Structure 1
């Protein structure tokens, strides 16, 4: 069942939903305080290719801080532009296929 925020918009539960709703994923390291903002579609592509679960509750456990190397970052959704652009975005064909599967 879908959850809604105070503005009436749907709250994403997966990386794909975050990308479809035009959100970015902010990861904050508990060790050194480093903060990085990822494009949600780029993270979704990485998780799909590695066959990792894309639920937002489990994403932080897979990420590693680029400064101190610690695992287990805190994840939140934001509308800020991505600061980490090293991950490639999915191709248009790959994204359209995913959207088609999502709508079906």
Structure 2
């Protein structure tokens, strides 16, 4: 990524093969998520894919505080809370649709 690369949306991160680093503003817990899986989840929830619009929607699993700091990173993604496998994604879609 060059200095002039703008990474404002999840699609930009996917295009540049970056992941999302999410840091809790309260307890500083850090999570690294795969940008493509995070983008798919946001699309299913009809959320705005801009990073600054996603920040207030996220809730910390440690302290329960809402709001986070999102940043592009090249670090390897860890375990994520998103569905595993196509069947699980379809079940989530059906649940959200009803």
Q: Which bin holds the TM-score, normalised by the shorter protein? A: 0.7 to 0.9
Superposition deviation, residue 86 in structure 1: 2.9
Q: Select 1:18's aligned residue among 7, 10, 13.
A: 13
Q: Which contiguous aligned blocks of 4+ residues in structure 1 show a shift greater than 4 angstroms?
A: none
TM-score (norm 2): 0.77
> CA 1:24–1:89 in 2, change beyond 3 Å: closer, same or farther?
farther
Superposition deviation, residue 89 in structure 1: 7.2
Q: What 5-or-longer segments of structure 1 have no aligned partner?
A: 92-104
Which secondary structure does the structure 2 equivalent of 1:25 belong to? strand
Corresponding pairs, count: 86
- For residues 15-40 of structure 1, the C-alpha deviation after alignment (integer angstroms, 9 at most, x for no partner) is 11111210110011111111001100
State the match for 2:80 in structure 1.
Answer: 85
Q: What 5-or-longer segments of structure 2 have no aligned partner?
A: 87-98
> CA 1:90–1:44 in 2, change beyond 3 Å: closer, same or farther?
farther
